[in-house]
Structure 1
């Protein structure tokens, strides 16, 4: 094997992070007893956040609201901008992972298929879909005019990429089977080595986050789709890249420095699960205290992004005065935000 794992130092901080995440994993069966439609709504919101964040990390300019509008109109067969193409491709692969993770082993064929589907709507990279790179793709720095000013990190050569990917996949599958290393550490190491290889000409960052979700789900962390890990990464993007670079540059040396990346990644998983804990608690409080009509209104707002009094009356069949009262109460309780006045009034989630 061309990288060493024995230099990973299992510190008290790493043990504490793993214990906290695993405790939540074990408690999820009790936490996840919300009604199916509530869980479905949580997953839908998290998916929109994940798609938006993962594509923005790579340079997309679409907001979560833009992503939501785009994904609600997927009967369109062509998408004009690269941002739209990347969003739709990412969303479709994520749904494949969520629906079929139990049947998707970690293999070269599956990774290449994910890459092909990820870029399915990107016509400019058609010949690169699902195929390892044929030209170097070192990570470079650029100035304000877009001119390359230097190489930050040298990735694997096109010649070395196939055998390095075979080695990484074999190591990962063996590590899961042998169980000498904690599953979270296996996932963490897989991701940083995958990005160090940078096996494809385009889409490596997005694909790495899809593979993260796949491996976590297959390792039993089935709560992952209900909160956005990609959003956590986006909000700490500078630290993400710094941790990656510090570890990546040492992977093929005699003394790899794993701990910077491992600690960052576990902290991200900790933040991800804490966000979900808060969401679940909010849902429980809401369900325990709100009238049925108020819950229906909130569900509509989650589905549509915004709502008017007229839409509440039409879609739920509520009396107009009753709808107004429930909307006022939801605004007063900080569940909804009111925008505009009079006939132009509309409401969104806070």
Structure 2
């Protein structure tokens, strides 16, 4: 199994304390459904822009938003497809985040499928060797493990992730950081490894209780210090995986990751506090009511902002789950007095929120 070599330095410990303080403050912010939805969409757009920008995407953040809304930019068709695919992958990660249980390796292969094609078909791992070269001079800067070793290395990584998540023997940000590093190190595909590593990191943080309502993104902080990001990932005495990279000291990457996460949470705490305290948003504080709902119910509230009455298909699409799972979920929500059947006399069932929750999405 993956056995990372690292030390928790005073700098990392300070960052971890800052992360916890901001995490608690963000969770306690007075906030309503509209404010939450706006902050979450801002974070999605930032993650999509910066994560693809790291890989060379040329669209600006404003153009990313327009591309996701259907706009076209002549000569940038590949960039348009890339941001749309990443956004779909991010939505799929958010759907996975609200599920319980271990993180599934096949699901992450589906995430890579979204990244590369916009479809949820799992991508097979690379069948051959690849090399990471400098764009300017073609010099090899990293030689990943050989293709026959990739399946076992990936299986070991996911076993390690799920063991750490179950045993809680490492702070969640460190688990996320080490997950990011090892996925990028294995480099299981010819392309899309960085984007998928960052998405997996997001999933680990969400599953560990660091999702913070989906209102922050680490990608901006990587992109703004790209040299530091790449330098932190480049460890060991050789560019070859088998010549020391696997046993390298990862302390530097942990320091970089924890500092980036502390900056991200500090920024979003300031932004969320400002938005929550804007005069137009202060007339309702739905924090207490929202805390009583599970993550899927909170996401469903956003669907009811646009329509008071929805079908099971609407719920399935919005949450990224199968129709069968949606029907099972709806039955439990009716039993819990979260939903009610809108008109029992109709053959095709439609649903609305119970009055106590309907007020959360009322103008």
Same fold by TM (over 0.5)?
yes
Q: Who is 1:28 aligned against? A: 26
- Normalising by structure 1, we get a TM-score of 0.73
Q: In the TM superposition, what are the counterparts of 1:105-254 in structure 2 within 5 Å?
A: 105-121=102-118, 130-143=123-136, 149-223=138-212, 225-246=214-235, 253=244
Instruction: Give yes or no for contact 2:236–2:247 (8 Å, CA) kept in 1.
Output: no
Q: 1:264 aligns with which of 253, 256, 262?
A: 256
- Aligned length, in residue pairs: 278
Secondary structure of 2:278's counterpart equals helix
**Which ranges in structure 2 are unaligned for 5 or more consecutive residues?**
284-363
- Normalising by structure 2, we get a TM-score of 0.70
Q: Who is 2:276 aligned against? A: 284
Superposition deviation, residue 227 in structure 1: 2.2
**How big is each residue's C-alpha offset from its partner over 1:147-180, in whole Å with a ceiling of 9 and x where there is no partner?**
x521101111111111110111111111221222
**Which ranges in structure 1 are unaligned for 5 or more consecutive residues?**
292-350
1:11 aligns with 2:4: no
Q: In the TM superposition, what are the counterparts of 1:56-75 in structure 2 within 5 Å?
A: 56-73=53-70
CA distance in 1 between counterparts of 2:32 and 2:270 reads 17
Kindly tell me: are residues 179 and 285 of structure 1, through their superposed partners in 2, closer, same or farther at Cα, counting changes over 3 Å? closer
CA distance in 1 between counterparts of 2:253 and 2:178 reads 9
**How big is each residue's C-alpha offset from its partner over 1:228-260, in whole Å with a ceiling of 9 and x where there is no partner?**
211111101110000001269598648521111
Secondary structure of 1:119's counterpart equals helix
Bigger relative contact order, structure 1 or 2, given CA contacts below 8 A and separation 6+?
2
Supply the RMSD in Å over aligned alpha carbons.
2.8
Q: Who is 1:86 aligned against? A: 82
Secondary structure of 1:152's counterpart equals strand
CA distance in 2 between counterparts of 1:46 and 1:177 reads 28
Instruction: Give yes or no for contact 2:113–2:122 (8 Å, CA) kept in 1.
Output: yes
Kindly tell me: are residues 149 and 201 of structure 1, through their superposed partners in 2, closer, same or farther at Cα, counting changes over 3 Å? closer
Superposition deviation, residue 191 in structure 1: 0.8
Superposition deviation, residue 56 in structure 1: 0.7
